[in-house]
Structure 1
């Protein structure tokens, strides 16, 4: 790994999910086609892109039963426990509707309502991601969403991974379709003969999925445009090089464009980690992917002080941040920008990916500066409630009318004044 001494502002090298002009054009064509031809277009794109012909997109009861037969009971038990941890964490995020009554009789409040329907995209291809099912579905269930639709690309035999189907069942999904790519996003956004449209789409995918989500945004809500995974580790001389290297590689194996960064105050640790990464790479099953990721997007930054190291982290605004320093909790308050923060040597990033409970759908590409992890609020909407009393209107009506006239909106002013005259 490259070792870089921090001299000024640090700019991390990231792979941005912008897409090429050709990719964007392809996505627009697919979306338009699905809007016009519905199921017929989806069947054609599924055959062309996923290399399988499907008569029906829906998952059957038989397929669910076969999925449970294919996975061992220990995996099912682990999924159940992870789901309970995730559910427990997200239940603490629930907020009630509220009302306040003023002395003049005015009642003001906020009504919180769950979205009617949500579509969850679960990526396929080179790997199966049952954890993504749990992280997207459970907060929606906790929020009170009644209809949750899951879509995922089928393999060459027209199947979804057994682990993904089991996770979906344990999370409480009742509507699952074997559809992937931009065509799945279009179906969720606009509906087809088989798939009714939803109000919001969540979940990660490839560049075509990301571009499709961007394209349909406004007609439906989306969670975020997720980029490649990132990890930054803030460490001092008390940290272990082998553990840091393992954690850096846990992100590097995701994708050749994943970003793994160490920020440390110790040159000795930096050199040891660089050596340990090379050593561990030699025996990693996904060595080619991880090696490319480390070469292109990996780096070790050496700071002169802890304050400089912390400020570097805040500049990077990473998706995942591990703090492995002697007084890690003392640094927590100084961290302003990070999607998820893991403190101490026993809080390795995969703990959060699968089991601890907080959501692993996190802001990437520096968007942790202004974005949050996927949470219960993402599946609810808020309505303001205004119940003005007669006395309040008499007290404030002239001011409201004057405000309206200052904006050139005479009808607004008169809508208030007609009530003031009528109250006499």
Structure 2
């Protein structure tokens, strides 16, 4: 089939590339001329393992085309995917301006019957609203039908997820539309869940809110573990063996970030408010996460009388490993507060440095390696669990001016540090101090 994908952000680009890989003729459309020129050369504007290679492969095989012209992409398209951004408004609701603009563009340019798939994350009722908008403005006697097909990609594993996902959710109001989407997605070999449009919209928000809840829950348990001298890693393993709970998203740390969980939890809270429902649980999840992002700052301030003029190394800036995404990253809050307290901050991340420079306070310094960041450092903070950081030789910390580490992602096991001479603070686990290390095991 010929498929047009409007929007070459994270979701749109991964969707377009994946659809081309299973044999469809895909046209990816974006109004950003500079980005489109980059994509035409097979260069991805985002860091995502495996994405560039699949782009280049499918461009070479003439299954993947990039353009700034909607008319080119829409011409003869059987299906049009809308994958533009739905940024957060000041009140926490989703901004649907870009989705509506694409819908009007479809009405203006499409000359054949078309299925329109909304891939963007949108509030419940949006698909029906866009269908009404199209019906109101279309002048030709065409069948333009809206389908909800939410994405469940994880940044850092999005390409893998595209071909090994748990399910593909399709919300449609007709058997015709469902069959078209089923035919498109069949080559992925992933179970397809058919439902109504509003339930499909709700599934996306409910899934992300539930996962965010698991993260905030285990972080609350971690905070209690520290006070009762338990080890949250052991607790997580113990409860994760219960099949009703499962072991995923039970990694204690300094909270979630990125483009989905923060925005979607707030949007679901707004949706609940619109229908006069007070979603108390989700309010707690959001507040816990906000507090958790500041936890290392609290630990630092409890440990030191002052941070003024201290050289502090930050290892990891992206909100999670295997991505260069800085949206809602804990590093933003932490570096800003450290600078406010007079610390000399030097940072390192394997991939996200350029994006970090756009959002972090300008007075911090950037190192080209872990070793450079740690040189003369009095304290080291680990904010992202990159493999490179998890594999740091303990000796690298011993070369610091004072080997004191605050690990926000529990990258190291306590036993490996017991004779290291390093003072080690983590999340939900006992503090390892040089003078008491041998007594812990």
TM-score, normalised with respect to structure 2:
0.24
Higher relative contact order (CA 8 A, sep 6+): 1
TM-score, normalised with respect to structure 1:
0.24
Max Rg structure: 1
